[in-house]
Structure 1
Amino acid sequence: MFKKMNFTKIIINVFIIAFMFIWILPTIGLLVTSFRPASEVSSTGWWTVLNSPLKFTQFTIENYQQVLNQGGMAYAFRNSFIIAIFGTALPVLVAAFAAFGLAKLQFRGRAVVYTIIVGLLVVPLQLTFIPVLKIYNALNLSGTFVGVWLAHTGYGLPFAVFMLHNFFSSLPDDLFEAAYIDGASIWTSFYKLALPLSVPAIASLVIFQFLWVWNDLLVALIYLGGFQEVAPLTVKLSSLVGSYGQNWHLLTSAAFISMVVPLIIFFALQRYFVRGILAGSVKG
């Protein structure tokens, strides 16, 4: 029995390693291509470097230099930071208040409000573009950071409220009742009890929201349009490759530049990630 279990474990590990290799292989190819000269990229595949992997003359950082020196690329990186930071902080903050109120405060219509919020998860973003854009044009919010912040906040709130509500609901009511008996206000209970206990869930939500905002192209194109001075990195990257596919080798370098910040965010908060995903899934 023991040998059979070990054999089964080995087979499972082999399958996991094989699927991990298949998943990461395109990323490795993208990374290798980003350091290859344009002439070699257009004539040979990235796997040809395996013939002489220690031959450093076949690698160059010229692609990265060209991408970073492209007109407006530095401003685009800054714009992505501005959009992602506020596009993450605003929905997380609003969702924390809303989720706590829906989970721990008793008021009429609470279930109806929560049902409507959860129902908004199934509404396609594309249905909202035309009416919201008309409102933005009337209020002169198109092509502004405030406009795209509000858009990301509105689109991210249903999932954020749903996720935090599940966590707050799993917190014992006796804990808050004891705090109220000791004279704590609702704000004190939220600030001193709910928020410290919900750090894993909030960290997971920050990861999801930040990655979505940072990698977003569609919302930025709709609400920022042709305003290049506020265009994020994704909009700039989409213009690197021409209509006929030329200069696509620069896109590989640009892709890794855009991946740096999300990777830093993920690895910085990864210890909370699994805890936050499982938070609220089991009560007791």
Structure 2
Amino acid sequence: MRRGGPWAAHLAVAVFVLLWTLPLLGLVVTSLRDRDQIAASGWWTAFSGVTLTRTFRTPPGGEGAQPGGRYALAGNALEGGGRVEAFGIDARRPAAFHPGAVADLGKGATLTVQADGAYSLTAPHGLAAPQGQRIFLTATVGPSPTLQNYADVLAATGIARSLLNSAIVAVPSTLFPVGLAVFAAYALAWMPFAGRRLVLAAVLGLMAVPLQVALIPLLKVHNAAGQALGLDPKGFVGVWLAHTGFGLPLAIYLIRNAMAALPREVIDSARLDGASDLAILTRIVLPLAAPAIAGFAVFQFIWTWNDLLVALVFLGPQGDRLVLTGRLLNLVGTHGGQWDILAASACVSVAVPVAVFLAFQRLLVRGLLSGVAD
């Protein structure tokens, strides 16, 4: 009897789950941080204090009280809270003074910044710089999650329309191959006809056709047919047919395997009772093969939702038909160095596929494990 086998398997599974989960956790945490914190430290430090260097400018000169004829100005340079580690008045020496020290601004003016961010500025008559005194702060701030990144992404031009376009593409592109594959899979599994194995071999061969190889020839055929029938060459019908064509071989293969694994006695008994093939399919086979069908549907929906290549080829880069992945790609080009916007955009993009996966997780697992090829 072997010992430690199950523990080793559980440990390996835990390691793989951790490796898959950490990047997603890092993406979510990054999307909830502000730009300064992202630039200062990694996402794993988001749950503890982060040391940042910030610049604060006091109100313009002349707005302070003048008790006894001397200009005085007070306030707090850390509006969001935190602790000042050092401060400075020169960009070349941003941490020249400790909290509580008195910095000489020249011409009798002084500046003091306390550890809690409270500052006090005094001068004989007023600030020499009418735009206010600039203060450089080195401060440790605690976790400060924000939803502003998501607000900026969702408020971007065209995001709502692109979300709708992705749904218009993904839902029919999932239903069409599933509906067609159910009938083809039943025929290959339970309807004897000449050349059945050759058809199954052809289905397996089509699964190996690369998407990039067939995309341009398919587009030419689509454009020619669209001109002959008077259809919009950049309409949603083209992208639906493309996703259906590329997803159909895998759908037929998976669903056929699940149907072929059903007990033959059940099918034969239904036929002896006079049930037609359509009745057997709808009343017996479909309920038993539902996990396999749902499993493929989840995969197909996630694939079509995250697709960019097929959508760009058949729909083009028009703003009114641009899918979410294309819109976020444009947003990345506009905000290339803003990791807060990029992380929030990525989370918005994966939110729907993750929700679908979690909702149909059990059916997906059962579907993957159902059926064995003949």
After TM superposition, the score normalised by the length of structure 1 is 0.90
Shift of 1:267: 1.8
Unaligned runs of 5+ in 2: 51-81, 83-140
Structure with more of its chain in strand, by fraction: 2
Output the amino acid matched with 1:83.
V
Structure 2 SS opposite 1:83: helix
Output the amino acid matched with 1:216.
D
Shift of 1:143: 2.2
Corresponding residue pairs, total: 280
1:136 to 219, 222, 234: 222
Structure with more of its chain in helix, by fraction: 1
Q: Tell me what 1:64 maps to.
A: 150
2:343 to 248, 252, 257: 252
Q: Tell me what 1:30 maps to.
A: 27
What root-mean-square deviation, in Å, do the aligned CA atoms of Structure 1 and Structure 2 show? Answer: 2.4
1:184 to 275, 278, 303: 275
Q: Tell me what 2:262 maps to.
A: 171
Asked if residue 207 in structure 1 is aligned to residue 207 in structure 2, the reply is no
Max Rg structure? 2
Q: Tell me what 1:46 maps to.
A: 43
Tell me, in whole angstroms, the C-alpha distance in 2 between the residues paired with 1:191 and 1:56: 59
Is the CA contact (8 Å cut-off) linking 1:32 and 1:46 kept in structure 2? yes
**1:89-138 per-position Cα deviation (integer Å, ceiling 9, x unaligned):** 00001000101011111112222112111100111111112111112222
Shift of 1:240: 1.4
Tell me, in whole angstroms, the C-alpha distance in 2 between the residues paired with 1:209 and 1:67: 26
Shift of 1:66: 0.8
Is the CA contact (8 Å cut-off) linking 1:241 and 1:248 kept in structure 2? no
Shift of 1:179: 1.2
**1:187-239 per-position Cα deviation (integer Å, ceiling 9, x unaligned):** 11111111011111111111111111111111112111122212211111111
Output the amino acid matched with 1:89.
L
After TM superposition, the score normalised by the length of structure 2 is 0.69
Task: Spell out the pairing of 1:107-118 with structure 2 (5 A cutoff).
Answer: 107-118=193-204
Is the CA contact (8 Å cut-off) linking 2:35 and 2:339 kept in structure 1? no
Is the CA contact (8 Å cut-off) linking 1:168 and 1:198 kept in structure 2? yes
1:79 to 153, 158, 165: 165
Output the amino acid matched with 2:32.
F
Output the amino acid matched with 1:99.
A
* C-alpha distance 43-205 of structure 1, shift in aligned 2 (>3 A): same
Asked if residue 262 in structure 1 is aligned to residue 353 in structure 2, the reply is yes
* C-alpha distance 261-109 of structure 1, shift in aligned 2 (>3 A): same
Structure with the bigger RCO (C-alpha within 8 Å, sep 6+) is 1
Output the amino acid matched with 1:150.
L
